[in-house]
Amino acid sequence: MNLFRLAGDMSHLFSIVLILLKIYTSKSCAGLSMKTQELYTLVFVTRYLDLFYSYVSLYNTVMKLIFLASSFGILWYMRYHKQVKQTYDREQDTFRHYILVVPCAVLALIVNNELSVTEVLWTFSIYLEAVAILPQLVLLQRTKNVDNLTGQYIFFLGAYRALYILNWIYRYWTEPKYRQYLVWAAGLVQTGLYADFFYYYLKSWQAGEKLRLP
């Protein structure tokens, strides 16, 4: 494993820690999209089905379990915690799941490496992950009230993807058989979705202000 990959994974992990920290310390999930969290949970569940039939490394297994457990944990807080669930922006978080889930499922059935249940589900998770941040970005645009932790959460999620792209470039040059066009295309789309957010995030940061969206 190279440094870009490790840094990317740590950035991903850190973004999740931030979100749990925010919820736990402030007992609030204001500004967080439950739709995005549900989509990420679906991403992890469909992708990490391989926990049952393949083993790569202890590191991978542990990380997969952490991602699964933490995404269910976040959802549990947002849905069932007495104080936290009251802070959820239900009226603003109106993005419909099927707008993303259905096209990703159709695309996974058409464009995949192999037409098998596990492979299509894995491909579906790759496509869905690329766009799962959209409800969160829409919510951010609507509420315009971005607290520091939410801003940092999205920043680290974007950084995770950008670091994975560096990891892919590195592996492309160092591992002769490393080709994964489908994943690369989805990863580029995913990173691209953050471009706009990054721009405003860095601008606010430079100005030493809280993140403000136009």
Partner 1 sequence: EDFIDLKDEL
Shortest CB 117 distance to partner 1, Å? 15
Nearest to partner 1 of 99, 169 (CB atom) = 169
Shortest CB 168 distance to partner 1, Å? 9
What is the rounded distance in angstroms from the CA atom of residue 195 to the CA atom of residue 137?
A: 11
Nearest to partner 1 of 58, 207 (CB atom) = 58
What is the rounded distance in angstroms from the CA atom of residue 133 to the CA atom of residue 147?
A: 17
Nearest to partner 1 of 25, 57 (CB atom) = 57
Shortest CB 200 distance to partner 1, Å? 28
What is the rounded distance in angstroms from the CA atom of residue 166 to the CA atom of residue 180?
A: 14
Nearest to partner 1 of 113, 148 (CB atom) = 113
Tokens describing residue 19? 């979100």
Among 45, 36, 214, smallest CA distance to 134 is for: 36
What is the rounded distance in angstroms from the CA atom of residue 78 to the CA atom of residue 32?
A: 9
Shortest CB 2 distance to partner 1, Å? 11
Nearest to partner 1 of 136, 167 (CB atom) = 167
What is the rounded distance in angstroms from the CA atom of residue 207 to the CA atom of residue 214?
A: 15
Tokens describing residue 189? 């789309």
CB 194 within 8 A of CB 161: yes
Shortest CB 56 distance to partner 1, Å? 5
Q: Would you tell me which residues interact with partner 1 (CB under 8 A)?
A: 5, 9, 12, 50, 54, 56-57, 60, 63-64, 67, 113-114, 122, 164, 167, 177-180, 183
Shortest CB 110 distance to partner 1, Å? 17
What is the rounded distance in angstroms from the CA atom of residue 102 to the CA atom of residue 88?
A: 25
Tokens describing residue 119? 């492979």
Nearest to partner 1 of 67, 88 (CB atom) = 67
